[in-house]
Amino acid sequence: METQTLIYLFVGASFALYIGIAIWSRAGSTKEFYVAGGGVNPVVNGMATAADWMSAASFLSMAGLIAFMGYDASVYLMGWTGGFVMLALLLAPYLRKFGQFTVPDFIGTRYYSKTARVVAVICLIFISFTYIAGQMRGVGIVFSQFLQVDITMGVIIGMGIVFIYAVLGGMKGITYTQVAQYCVLITAYMVPAFFISFMLTDNPLPQLGLGSQLNDGSGTYVLQKLDNLLVELGFNQYTAGTKSTIDMFCITMALMVGTAGLPHVIVRFFTVPKASDARKSAGWALVFIALLYTTAPAIGAFGMYNFINQTNETEYAEADSWFKNWEGADLIAWQDKNEDGVMQYRAGNAFEGKPEFTGETGPSGERIVANAPNPDTANEVYVDRDIMVLANPEIANLPGWVVALMAAGGLAAALSTAAGLLLVISSSVSHDLLKSTFAPNISAKSELLAARAAATAAIVVAGYLGIYPPGWVAQVVAFAFGLAASSLFPAIFMGIFFKSMNKEGAIAGMISGLVFTFSYIVYFKLMAPDLNVAENWLFGISPEGIGVIGMLINFGIAIAVASVTAKTPLEIRKLVDSIRVPRGAGDAHAH
């Protein structure tokens, strides 16, 4: 069977499965729509959380970042994994014991303020839309490459699929759909890794293959070979870091606390029966996530090794079909600077910015690039980092069914996170803005209708951002995690562990942290990208790590304002005690 037919078959079957699950588990009440009825098994919730968390960024981009950044990309592995540990220990069980539907619910009730709730909703919606734009773009890229439709049509199809199971099923439908999506995406991620690891090192386990010798008879280890290859081509050593220690620390920390403050991840812990199950499901999620995260470094290294061997000093006319396939998707480009018909992959940017194709072909059959070749580098090859995972099976000449599986896995990763984010947005609008703030007398039926309408509107906006991505989509990690770290995390953390934190302090802290981090990222990423270099950064901290400073500003201003304003009411102090103290502990202490 042809690869393209297999792709249609695999993707079609996975979509049929997701829609079938949504119809089977459709929500009939607001509790089922928001938190799946609150009765999800911890193992099932752990798997759904893993799918929710492992977005297009984890599935498509992370191994690509590792492939091209080497050691410097380890911040993503450490930060995202560490964030889950922090979430499991510090937040999940307490938030579950609080027993509400959403993050703004906790903040609004804990800080006894509708203003605090609205500020939290604004933070949450901005974080979620920033994050979801990248997911929908990822859906479009996968569709355009594998299903032979343009990116716009790919995003529209993705919107339709998410609409069916997010709007119909709510959190109940999304939970069981995400379990299926996890199974699809982890299989798609691991199978090519097993194949490629065995092909290069004779060791089928990629985690061990990364530290093994290549089976080419050279006696050279994989990472040693990569170091040598990259240095020869003018790059830094693969295993050497180029970032400063403070920047590495801040990026890792921002990703950690950003993870612990991401609303679509936190809301998953409201779906289990009791507080102890929240911690169990976080533990299971970490196990399921670790399967992908411990494999990503191997996929990145193997992908880079194969990519260099298949492109550098290869005649374009004899290049494998995968190169021309991805060239057709505008995600790889080659321009023959020295007119020798041979591709040279070297350090430096091949062109001024991303390739802009003229629609014409050159003497070797290559697609001509409109923006002039960069005269300062001998590099002739441009490659988009996000394709490394998707193209890996083709680069390694794996069977067609593995390529088809990868297409289904990429879509599962992007759609699972998009659905979780859309539900967070819809519940914030219907539950936190309408039911809890502006229309307290709304009926449960009307609230559920509003939630579905909000989800529909959110899907349309998300689709628009996927089709016409703003300039910051590539910086989703910097925006979403930095904003979550600097706005929501401190408010949640102090809400649980500082009884004296009052509404004035929390509101002032959230606004100041959000404004500072947002301004810093916008300045360096959008307004003055030419100044985005280490010597211009505050304390040498890049925009990706500045959320840590925003978090400290949030904590500092919140504590300062709380110390000079009215004390927290007694009933709120008792509420905090009830969240933190195990059931029966107070009675035992009294006796």
Residue 29 lies in a domain: yes
CA distance 214 to 309: 14
Confidence of residue 45 (pLDDT cuts 50, 70, 90): confident
Confidence of residue 474 (pLDDT cuts 50, 70, 90): very low
pLDDT for residue 201? 93
CA distance 349 to 338: 16
Q: 540 near 243, Cβ under 8 Å?
A: no
Shared-domain flag, residues 172 and 295: yes
pLDDT for residue 317? 85
Shared-domain flag, residues 236 and 323: no
Residue 555 lies in a domain: no
Question: Is residue 312 scored above 80 in pLDDT?
Answer: yes
- Kindly report the CATH number assigned to the domain that includes residue 295: 1.10.4160
pLDDT for residue 285? 86
pLDDT for residue 86? 82
CA angle 493, 86, 300 (to 5 degrees): 135
Shared-domain flag, residues 49 and 121: yes
The CA–CA distances, whole Å, from 148 to 7, 8, 30, 94, 403 equal: 11, 10, 39, 47, 14
Question: Is residue 589 scored above 50 in pLDDT?
Answer: no
Residue 353 lies in a domain: yes
pLDDT for residue 256? 87
Shared-domain flag, residues 144 and 214: yes
Task: Give pLDDT tens digits for 152-165.
Answer: 888 888 788 777 76
Task: Give pLDDT tens digits for 490-524.
Answer: 998 998 888 889 999 999 999 999 899 989 988 88
Question: Is residue 472 scored above 50 in pLDDT?
Answer: no
Residue 218 lies in a domain: yes
For the ranges 56-65, 115-124, 129-138, 482-491, the lowest mean pLDDT is seen at: 129-138
Residue 271 lies in a domain: yes
Shared-domain flag, residues 221 and 346: no
Question: Is residue 168 scored above 70 in pLDDT?
Answer: no
Shared-domain flag, residues 124 and 205: yes
For the ranges 24-28, 127-131, 388-392, the lowest mean pLDDT is seen at: 24-28
The sign one gets for the Cα dihedral 490, 493, 497, 501 is: positive
Confidence of residue 301 (pLDDT cuts 50, 70, 90): very high
Domain, as residue range, for 375: 316-394
Shared-domain flag, residues 187 and 120: yes
Q: Which residue has the higher pLDDT, 173 or 350?
A: 350
When divided into structural domains, the chain yields a total of 2
Task: Give pLDDT tens digits for 337-349.
Answer: 888 888 889 888 8
CA distance 262 to 266: 6
Q: Which residue has the higher pLDDT, 303 or 41?
A: 303
Q: Which residue has the higher pLDDT, 242 or 419?
A: 242
Shared-domain flag, residues 335 and 361: yes
Residue 424 is classified by DSSP as H
pLDDT for residue 402? 86
Work out the mean pLDDT of the chain and round it to a whole number. Answer: 81
Q: Is 324 exposed, middle or buried (0-12, 13-18, 19+ CB in 10 A)?
A: middle
Give the per-residue SS3 of 538-584.
Answer: HHHCCCCCCHHHHHHHHHHHHHHHHHCCCCCCHHHHHHHHHHHCCCC
pLDDT for residue 25? 64
pLDDT for residue 35? 52
Q: 338 near 375, Cβ under 8 Å?
A: no
Q: Which residue has the higher pLDDT, 276 or 115?
A: 115
pLDDT for residue 205? 92
Confidence of residue 30 (pLDDT cuts 50, 70, 90): low
Q: 78 near 252, Cβ under 8 Å?
A: yes
Q: 148 near 455, Cβ under 8 Å?
A: no
Q: What is the DSSP string of 425-477?
A: HHHIIIIIIIIIII-TT--HHHHHHHHHHHHHHHHHHHHHHHHS--GGGGGHH
Residue 564 lies in a domain: no
Q: Which residue has the higher pLDDT, 432 or 187?
A: 187
In Å, how far from its chain's centre is CA 121? 20
pLDDT for residue 586? 43
pLDDT for residue 502? 92
Question: Is residue 410 scored above 60 in pLDDT?
Answer: yes
Question: Is residue 471 scored above 80 in pLDDT?
Answer: no
Instruction: Work out the percent of the chain whose per-residue pLDDT is above 90.
Output: 15
Domain final residue pick, 394, 416, 443? 394
Confidence of residue 590 (pLDDT cuts 50, 70, 90): very low
Q: Is 48 left (phi over 0), alpha (psi -120 to 50) or beta?
A: alpha
CA distance 431 to 336: 58
pLDDT for residue 588? 38
CA distance 117 to 100: 13
Total-model pTM? 0.81
pLDDT for residue 244? 87
Shared-domain flag, residues 220 and 197: yes
For the ranges 49-53, 168-172, 234-238, 308-312, the lowest mean pLDDT is seen at: 168-172
User: Once rounded to an integer, what is the mean pLDDT over residues 320-324?
Assistant: 84
Q: Which residue has the higher pLDDT, 418 or 336?
A: 336
- How many other C-beta atoms are found inside a 10 Å radius of the C-beta of residue 221? 15
Instruction: Work out the percent of the chain whose per-residue pLDDT is above 70.
Output: 90
Task: Give pLDDT tens digits for 52-99.
Answer: 777 777 777 788 888 888 888 888 888 888 887 887 777 777 877 776
Residue 220 lies in a domain: yes
Residue 524 is classified by DSSP as I
Residue 72 lies in a domain: yes
Domain final residue pick, 470, 492, 518? 470
Shared-domain flag, residues 381 and 414: no
Task: Give pLDDT tens digits for 207-248.
Answer: 999 999 998 888 899 999 999 999 998 888 888 878 888 999
Q: Which residues of 248-280 are buried (b: 16+ CB within 10 A; e: fewer)?
A: bbbbbbbbbbbbbbbbbbbbbbbbbeebebbbb
Shared-domain flag, residues 116 and 237: yes
Shared-domain flag, residues 377 and 416: no
pLDDT for residue 32? 55
Domain final residue pick, 349, 374, 394? 394
